[in-house]
Each structure stands twice: as C-alpha cells, then as structure tokens.
Amino acid sequence: MLHKLTVKELAAHDGEKVSLDGWVYNKRSSGKVRFLILRDGSGYLQCVAFVRDVPPEVFDLMDRVTLESSVTVEGTVRIDQRAPGGVELSLSGLVLHHMAEEYPIGKKEHGTGFLMENRHLWLRSSRQVAILRVRSEIEQAFRDYFYQSGFTLIDSPILTPAACEGTTTLFQTDYFGEKAYLSQSGQLYLEPACMALGKVYCFGPTFRAEKSKTRRHLMEFWMLEPEVAFAGLDDVMALSEDFLVSVVSRILDRCPEEMKILERDTSKLEKVQKPFPRVQYKDAVRQLHELGSDLKYGDDFGGDDETILTQQYDRPIMVHRYPAAVKAFYMEPDPEDPSLALCVDVLAPEGYGEIVGGSERIHDHDLLLSRIREHGLPVEAFQWYLDIRRYGTVKHGGFGIGLERTVAWLCGLNHVRETIPYPRMLYRLYP
Ligand code: 4AD
C-alpha cells in the first residue's frame, strides 16, 4: 500500500512514491505528455505523465477523463519551484472512481443567477474554496479570542417568544398553538447569563426577514455576540476594537494563499491597528453632509452613507451615540443627552460599512419597562428579561458582529452571497 497523502502534505515527501484521492480540476496535453490538475480540498497538484512512463491504459484514461471526475493518482513527489504550488507528481498510476458528466460550471463566465442555482457545485471553484477557508479561519479566530479572554460560551435558543431587533423582520412559526419566532439575536438570553458568569458570548445562526435586496443583507446570517457584566459603552468599544485587530491579524497570518487567490490587497488590512477613530453620530452626519449626502439628522445611516463615510478612513471607525429613536428598545440613554443611546456601530473601511452593532443596556427596571411599552412590545413575553433588573442589577453591555459581513470585508467581496455556503436571500431558498 502506498502512503496516502493530501496535496497540502506533499512538500515534506520529496522523492517518495505516494497516492492521493481527489477530483480532476483541469487537464491539458502536449505531444507525448499529459498534465492533470488534481484538487483534493487541501490544494491543487499538477500530475505529469509521459507516454513512455505509464501503461497505455493509464495514458488513454488521461485523455478520456472528464473534469470533476473522481480519481486516485499514484506517483513520485517532485519538489519543483516552477510547478504551481512548488510541487509536482510524476504520475505512474490513475484509478477512476466515477467519470463525471459534463460539468455545468466551466471556465467561462457565468451569470450570478446561474451560479446561485448551482451553488452546490459552484462551491468547488477555487475562489469559493478560498472564501470558505477564510470563513472557517475567521470562525475559529472568533471563538479562540473569547475563549482565551475568559468568556464562557452560552448557546442561546433559536426558537423564541419575543423580538430583540424590532418586530418588522421576524420569521414567525407555530409552536404548538403559540406564536414563536426564529431568533434575531441571542443578546436577550446573554444578559441573564452574564449575571451568572460575568463574561459570556454566543455564536450561532440568526434570522431576519429583511424585505430588502442589498449586497449586505441575508435572511439567515451568523452572529457572534459577547456580553459583559459591569461594562459600559467605553468598555464595549475597547473590546470590539481589540477583538477586530486580533481577528484581522490572524487572517493575515494564516490565510496568505487564500488572499492571493482572491486578489485581496492585504496592505489595506495591515492598517487595521488600534486606535480606531471614535466619531459621534452627530459629527458623522456633519461629515456626510460635507461629502454630499442628504441624510437627515435623526435618521439611521443607509448603505450608501456608510459606504461614502468609510471610504474616508483606512481602518474601522466607531460611530457612537445615535439618536435613541432609531435604535433598539434596550439601549441605555446617554445621561448627558437622553435623546441619544449609549450605542456603537463599527463600520469597516473601504466602503464595507457596518459589521458590529453594540451598546450599553438599560439596567433600571422601570425605565426598561417603559421602553418595552413605548415600542409596543408585549410585556408578558419580557417578564423574564425584566427580572434581571430586579436582582442585583448592574450596568452591562456587549455587541454583535456579523460573520458574513466580516468575511466580505476581509476577502474583499462586494456582496455577502459568496460568504456563506448556502445563502438565504430574498426569494432564494434553493439549494
Ligand atoms: O446591529 P444588530 O442588529 O445588533 C444586534 O442584533 C444586537 N442584538 C447585537 C448585540 O448587541 N448583542 O446586528 C449586529 C450585526 C450587524 O452589525 C451586522 O454585521 C450583522 O449583525 N447583521 C447582518 N448581517 C447580514 N445580514 C443581515 N440581514 C444582518 N443584520 C445584521
């Protein structure tokens, strides 16, 4: 039995005879030599066969084998800096597992609709593989940062009886005769947990029935949310800043190959260093007016406002103290001007816009109760949430970061649809 390896492992096996499993990514021929590019998920490998070195049936199979057929190749590893990836296989054997039908996704350009319809196959292309690998590394960086900072992971429920982020974007379902909603955020469940454990976070899928088709919105997206007892707005801002710097530097460190495939200008990401500018909402509005926006003071930023504002900066900016009227019911008012909320949105540079939303939470029972009523929310469904303000209440706060928007920014993609394996978008549930 030959030593079975993956492409990624080959570099340490120069001169050895090995075998690899994978799919035919590409092939070409010239005279008496055949080239087959194998992909196995870990990388791409050029396999070379000369007519004199392989049995005739192998040479013939190299001519017949179709793209995306599944195969096992055998051969001798050769370190060769001229080969793509610096290593090549002198092929001696080829076993066919399945001859693929004509692959619908070719090397030519395809429209987005076609690619989305064939997302299950599109995943195999080199750009998509690179994006999914970066996504996986970002998820691990998210988890590691909070694990190493002493946070406890709290899994919040997906089926919930109440809204966290407004009632207009709820996905409703029936829960044995009761109304239930898919979670928009784990935050409300983290607040009680931080009173038990101090520093907590959750990370999972969240759902918003956003009736808008934009390059930043998904119906189902993954959000990581930390929540910290005794933390105010400044602590929340410092935490999100430190966290983002750590995630970006880890991706630069661990994903250089993927960044190359994606043609990402990483010099832009290298500028993501502390401190991030902290800009009050009212100053951001003034700046936007100077840049030609007609945003009214008091309105939340639209996607275009975020784009033009963040194009002015080389690192994320923290816009804080938005008018309370455009923000969620649970945000603590600014003691210096109660019309403002102690909240922050972190906007990514290069036009990527909001990736983080956070705030200090209302810790006073009666104020929270009046906000729940003002927002027309059912008080009964929030009794448990109000309870937290009855037993040793303290100021506390946290934020939520959207995974897909982070992936889009770090990979340099202009739409979130490629940042998640199976995007759920307006009117698209297939595959
Ligand atoms: O600003 P949001 O709505 O904040 C919350 O949900 C808070 N409860 C979080 C907290 O304080 N614990 O959402 C947070 C982030 C946004 O900045 C964005 O990155 C992402 O979640 N996000 C979306 N991503 C993709 N598609 C959507 N429809 C998104 N909505 C929000």
Mean pLDDT by 10 residues, the chain (431 residues): 93 97 96 96 96 95 97 97 90 98 89 96 97 98 98 98 90 97 98 98 97 93 98 98 98 97 98 98 97 94 92 95 97 98 97 96 98 95 97 98 98 97 94 96
Q: Nearest residue CA, atom 27 of ligand 1? A: 217
Q: Nearest residue CA, atom 11 of ligand 1? A: 399
In the reported structure, the alpha carbon of residue 222 is separated from the centroid of ligand 1 by a whole-number distance in angstroms of 9
Q: Nearest residue CA, atom 6 of ligand 1? A: 185
In the reported structure, the alpha carbon of residue 400 is separated from the centroid of ligand 1 by a whole-number distance in angstroms of 6
**Under 8 Å CB-to-CB from 49, ≥6 apart: which residues?**
33, 34, 36, 58, 59, 62, 90, 91, 92, 94
> Nearest Cα to 282, choosing from 369, 341, 229, 232?
341
Which residues, judged by CB distance below 6 Å to any ligand atom, belong to the binding site of ligand 1? 164-165, 185, 187, 208, 210, 217-218, 221, 223, 225, 354-359, 398-402, 404-405, 416
Q: Nearest residue CA, atom 23 of ligand 1? A: 402
pLDDT at 106: 84
pLDDT at 147: 98
Mutate-to-test residue for ligand 1 from 138, 181, 185, highest number of ligand atoms within 8 A of CB: 185
pLDDT at 321: 98
pLDDT at 295: 94
In the reported structure, the alpha carbon of residue 357 is separated from the centroid of ligand 1 by a whole-number distance in angstroms of 6
The pTM of this model reads 0.97
In the reported structure, the alpha carbon of residue 126 is separated from the centroid of ligand 1 by a whole-number distance in angstroms of 29
**Which pair of tokens denotes residue 9?**
């492992």
In the reported structure, the alpha carbon of residue 161 is separated from the centroid of ligand 1 by a whole-number distance in angstroms of 19
pLDDT at 2: 87
pLDDT at 310: 93
Q: Can you tell me which atom of ligand 1 is nearest the CA of 227?
A: 12
309: number of Cβ within 10 Å: 24
- The sign of the CA dihedral 255, 260, 263, 269 is positive
In the reported structure, the alpha carbon of residue 306 is separated from the centroid of ligand 1 by a whole-number distance in angstroms of 15
pLDDT at 66: 98
Give the Cα-Cα-Cα angle 247, 327, 234 (nearest 5 degrees). Answer: 50
**Under 8 Å CB-to-CB from 113, ≥6 apart: which residues?**
none
Q: Can you tell me which atom of ligand 1 is nearest the CA of 218?
A: 26
Q: Nearest residue CA, atom 1 of ligand 1? A: 357
Q: Can you tell me which atom of ligand 1 is nearest the CA of 210?
A: 28
* Residues forming beta bridges with residue 206, ordered by sequence position: 221
Q: Nearest residue CA, atom 7 of ligand 1? A: 400
In the reported structure, the alpha carbon of residue 167 is separated from the centroid of ligand 1 by a whole-number distance in angstroms of 15
pLDDT at 162: 87
